[in-house]
C-alpha cells in the first residue's frame, strides 16, 4: 500500500474505475512548507504519522524530501521503517513504544532515531547497538506538564546525563509537547529550556531542541527553538478560528471526490435513507454516492452535507450511512458516473467547514480518512502518482 503508480497511462486507466478517491495537490504541500519555513526560520521536522494524516506516507515524504526536508516524525515503527527504506539519507524520529528484541533490532539496524524516556529502553538500545557494532540514535522526551509520556522535567537532567554515558547511544535532541493552554504552555516552555540549559551546563551538547508543533508555530515564536514539528498546518489546515488571524498563508492539500452511483426521482411525502430522517416537501431529483462514514464523512452530517458540483453546492439529504450518502440534484443535469466533490480545498465544504458542521475537530476528519481509498497526486494540475491499496487486476 506504500508504493505509488507513476505511469500516466496506468493512472488514467485505474482512475476510470473508481467510485470515490482522494486527490492531493503537491504544489499546495510545497506552498505550505515554504511558508512555514519562512515564518519560523529554523529546521522543519514534518509530522507524517498516521499515513501522513491520511495523505499517503511515501508520496508526501518524497515531495518534502525533494524540497530539502531531512527529519520526519512518525508515531509507528512500521512507518519509520518505510521511510528509512525509501529514503536512506533521511532521518526519522519514531515515537512508538518498543517491546521485544525484534523491535529494538529494527530501530538500530535501520538507523531510526527513537524517542526515549526510560532507562530500561535506553539500556536495551545501547545493548542492541553494541551487538550491531554501531550507536543508537535517540531523542529524549521530557515531560514538562502534559503528563502523557516522558521523563519528568525535574529529574530529566540526571536522566539525560545517565543516558549519554551509555557508550553506544547518540543523543540527537530533546523534545516535549505543549498542552495548548496559553498559561500552562509558557510554564512548560520555561521548564524545557531550564532542562536544556542545565544539561549543557554539565557539558552535554544538545544538537536539537524541539517544542513547537502546529499551534506553537501559529502562536508561540519563542518556542520555535532549533526545529519545529508542523502537522495540521503542513496539510493546509487552520485547526481553530483564531489560527486564521495568523500571517501564515496555507492551502489545503486534499479533496475527496466521488462519482454519482444512482439517480432517482421522488415525490412530495417520500422519505429517504434510514429512519426517514428526510421527507421531501416537493418532487425532487436525488443522487446516491457510494461514499459514507467508512470513508471520512461524519455521521453527524445528517441533512447538513454540502457537495460541490462545478460552481454550485448541492445539499445532502438524510443520514450518512456506512457506504452511502444522498444529495439533492434537483435543477441539475448531473447523472450516473459524473464526478462531484464531497470535501473541497476551499469554499463551503472544505475540511474545516465539514468538521464544523459535524461538530468534529478537523483533526478528527483528517485522521479518519479511509486508508483503502485511492489517492491521486497532482502537480501543476496534472496527475503524477497514484496510490491504489487494492490494485484490482494488473492495471
CATH at 63: 3.20.20.10
> What pLDDT was estimated at residue 395?
44
**Whether residue 230 sits in one domain with residue 278:** no
CA distances from 382 to 7, 120, 251, 258, 330 (A): 12, 50, 17, 18, 32
**Whether residue 128 sits in one domain with residue 63:** yes
- Tens of each residue's pLDDT in the chain, 395 residues: 678 899 999 999 999 999 999 999 999 999 999 999 999 999 999 999 999 999 999 999 999 999 999 999 999 999 999 999 999 999 999 999 999 999 999 999 999 999 999 999 999 999 999 999 999 999 999 999 999 999 999 999 999 999 999 999 999 999 999 998 988 999 999 999 999 999 999 999 999 999 999 999 999 999 999 999 999 999 999 999 999 999 999 999 999 999 999 999 999 999 999 999 999 999 999 999 999 999 989 999 999 999 999 889 999 999 999 999 999 999 999 999 999 999 999 999 999 999 999 999 999 999 999 999 999 999 999 999 999 987 654 44
**Whether residue 264 sits in one domain with residue 231:** no
Kindly state whether residue 151 falls inside one of the protein's structural domains.
yes
Kindly state whether residue 103 falls inside one of the protein's structural domains.
yes
Cell numbers at 268, concatenated = 412530495
**Whether residue 202 sits in one domain with residue 265:** no
Region for 95 from its dihedrals, namely left if φ exceeds 0, alpha if ψ lies in -120 to 50, beta otherwise? alpha
* Closest by Cα among 162, 46, 56, 50 to 387: 56
Residue 382 CB: number of other CB atoms within 10 A? 9
Kindly state whether residue 386 falls inside one of the protein's structural domains.
no
**CA-to-CA distance for 161 and 142, rounded, in angstroms?**
13
**Whether residue 219 sits in one domain with residue 302:** no
**Whether residue 286 sits in one domain with residue 185:** no
Whether the CB-CB separation of 292 and 321 falls below 8 Å is answered with yes
Kindly state whether residue 333 falls inside one of the protein's structural domains.
yes
* SS3 (DSSP) at 181: coil
Q: Of 235, 265, 290, which marks where a domain is finished?
A: 235
Q: What is the CATH number of the domain that holds 361?
A: 2.40.37.10
**Whether residue 226 sits in one domain with residue 78:** yes
* Closest by Cα among 90, 49, 354, 88 to 230: 49
Kindly state whether residue 91 falls inside one of the protein's structural domains.
yes
**Whether residue 116 sits in one domain with residue 258:** no
Q: Buried b / exposed e across 334-344, counting CB within 10 Å, b at 16+?
A: beeebebbbbb
- Domain containing residue 32: 26-235
Kindly state whether residue 150 falls inside one of the protein's structural domains.
yes
**Whether residue 363 sits in one domain with residue 308:** yes
The count of domains in the chain is 2
> What pLDDT was estimated at residue 394?
43
**Whether residue 269 sits in one domain with residue 223:** no
Burial class (CB in 10 A: 0-12, 13-18, 19+), 331: exposed
**Whether residue 345 sits in one domain with residue 225:** no
Q: Of 235, 262, 283, which marks where a domain is finished?
A: 235
Kindly state whether residue 19 falls inside one of the protein's structural domains.
no
* Closest by Cα among 3, 16, 21, 9 to 254: 21
Q: Say what the pTM is.
A: 0.95
**Whether residue 278 sits in one domain with residue 231:** no
Kindly state whether residue 385 falls inside one of the protein's structural domains.
no
Amino acid at each position: 500500500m506504500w508504493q505509488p503508480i507513476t505511469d500516466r497511462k496506468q493512472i488514467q486507466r485505474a482512475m476510470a474505475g473508481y467510485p470515490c478517491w482522494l486527490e492531493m495537490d503537491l504544489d499546495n504541500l510545497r506552498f505550505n512548507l515554504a511558508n512555514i519555513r519562512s515564518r519560523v526560520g529554523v529546521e522543519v521536522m514534518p509530522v507524517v504519522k498516521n499515513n501522513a494524516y491520511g495523505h499517503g506516507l511515501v508520496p508526501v515524504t518524497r515531495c518534502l524530501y525533494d524540497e530539502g526536508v531531512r527529519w520526519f516524525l512518525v508515531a509507528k515503527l512500521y512507518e519509520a521503517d518505510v521511510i528509512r527504506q525509501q529514503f536512506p539519507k533521511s532521518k526519522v524520529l519514531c515515537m512508538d513504544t518498543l517491546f521485544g528484541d525484534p523491535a529494538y533490532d529494527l530501530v538500530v539496524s535501520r538507523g531510526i532515531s527513537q524517542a526515549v524516556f526510560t532507562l530500561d529502553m535506553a539500556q536495551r538500545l545501547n545493548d542492541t547497538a553494541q551487538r550491531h557494532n554501531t550507536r543508537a540514535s535517540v531523542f529524549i522526551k521530557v515531560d514538562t506538564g502534559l503528563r502523557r509520556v516522558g521523563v519528568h522535567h525535574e529529574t530529566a537532567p540526571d536522566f539525560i546525563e545517565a543516558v549519554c554515558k551509555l557508550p553506544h547511544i547518540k543523543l540527537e535532541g530533546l523534545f516535549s509537547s505543549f498542552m495548548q493552554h496559553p498559561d500552562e504552555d509558557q510554564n512548560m516552555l520555561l521548564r524545557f529550556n531550564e532542562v536544556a540549559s542545565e544539561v549543557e551546563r554539565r557539558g552535554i551538547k544538545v544538537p536539537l531542541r524541539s517544542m513547537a508543533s502546529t499551534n506553537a508555530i501559529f502562536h508561540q515564536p519563542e518556542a520555535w527553538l532549533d526545529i519545529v514539528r508542523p502537522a495540521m498546518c503542513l496539510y493546509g489546515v487552520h485547526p481553530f478560528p483564531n489560527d486564521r488571524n495568523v500571517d501564515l498563508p496555507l492551502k489545503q492539500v486534499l479533496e475527496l471526490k466521488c462519482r454519482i452511483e444512482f439517480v432517482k426521482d421522488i415525490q412530495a411525502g417520500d422519505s429517504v435513507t434510514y429512519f426517514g430522517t428526510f421527507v421531501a416537501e416537493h418532487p425532487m431529483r436525488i443522487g446516491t454516492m457510494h461514499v459514507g462514514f467508512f470513508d471520512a464523512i461524519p455521521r453527524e452530517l445528517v441533512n447538513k452535507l454540502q457537495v460541490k458540483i462545478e460552481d454550485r453546492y448541492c445539499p445532502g439529504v438524510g443520514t450518512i450511512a456506512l457506504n452511502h450518502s444522498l444529495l439533492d440534484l434537483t435543477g441539475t443535469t448531473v447523472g450516473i458516473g459524473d464526478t462531484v466533490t464531497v470535501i473541497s480545498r476551499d469554499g463551503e465544504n472544505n475540511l474545516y467547514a465539514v468538521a464544523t458542521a459535524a461538530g468534529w475537530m478537523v483533526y478528527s476528519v483528517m485522521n479518519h480518512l479511509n486508508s483503502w481509498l485511492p489517492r491521486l497526486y497532482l502537480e501543476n494540475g496534472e496527475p503524477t502518482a497514484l496510490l491504489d491499496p487494492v490494485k484490482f487486476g494488473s492495471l
